[in-house]
Each structure stands twice: as structure tokens, then as C-alpha cells.
Structure 1
Amino acid sequence: MKLITLNLPEPYLEGLEKLVQEELYPNRSEAIRHAVRDLIRKEKAFTPL
């Protein structure tokens, strides 16, 4: 896995924190990975690992 830097608006970060606090995801990184994966699948650009 590669490390990237990501700048997000404050409301996005607050939303991510809420998802983690509600234990829907173990951490922000996992929530972001999930969101990116879903976007790529939706746009039909997903290549399975």
C-alpha cells in the first residue's frame, strides 16, 4: 500500500470522524479506502487486485 496526502474540507473530516466514532469503520483510512473503491467500481474503472 502507498501513502498519500489528502486535503479535505472540514465537514468531510467531521463526517469521517463520525463514521469512526459510530464504529462503522475502524479508522478514517479504512473509510476513505472504502469510498475510493466504491467510486472506482461505480465508474467501471476497478481492476481487482
Structure 2
Amino acid sequence: MKVVTICLPKRYVSGIEDLVEQSKYPNRSEAIRIAIRDMLVDELWGSRTQKRPSVPLVSQLKETSPPEESTPP
């Protein structure tokens, strides 16, 4: 994975920390990763991934991600 530094409003960080405290995500990084993944699926890769709804999302992302962005198995 590549490290990316971002600035977020305090309210966003507080909300993410609340979700982590509620055990909805293991940590802030994972919560942000999932939010970004969901946005990319909805707005960028959605038309390609919706063709096979029975395939798990992780498999779909591996197939639709640009090669340089894919994570090794």
C-alpha cells in the first residue's frame, strides 16, 4: 500500500473515531480505506462491477483496479 497524507475537518475525524470506538472498524485507516473503496466502486467502477453481483467485492476490485494499484494476492 502507498501512504497518502490528507487533511480532514475535525468533525470528520471525530466521526471516524466514534465508528472505531463502536468497533465498526478496527482503526481509522481501515475506515477511511473502506469509505474510499466504496466511493470508487459507486462512482468509477460501479458499471463494471454490477454486471456480476454474485462475485465478492474484493474479487471485483482486483479485476477492475488498474494494474499498478492492485495489491498482491
Q: Same fold (TM over 0.5)?
A: yes
Segments of 5+ residues of structure 1 without an aligned counterpart are: none
CA RMSD between the two structures: 1.5
Runs of 4+ with deviation above 4 angstroms: none
Count of residues paired in the alignment = 49
Other-structure match for 2:31: 31
Higher share in helix: 2
- Structure showing greater Rg: 2
Segments of 5+ residues of structure 2 without an aligned counterpart are: 47-59, 63-73
Deviations, residues 4-46 of structure 1 (Å, cap 9, x unaligned): 1010000000000000000000000000000000000110336
Identity of aligned residues (%): 47
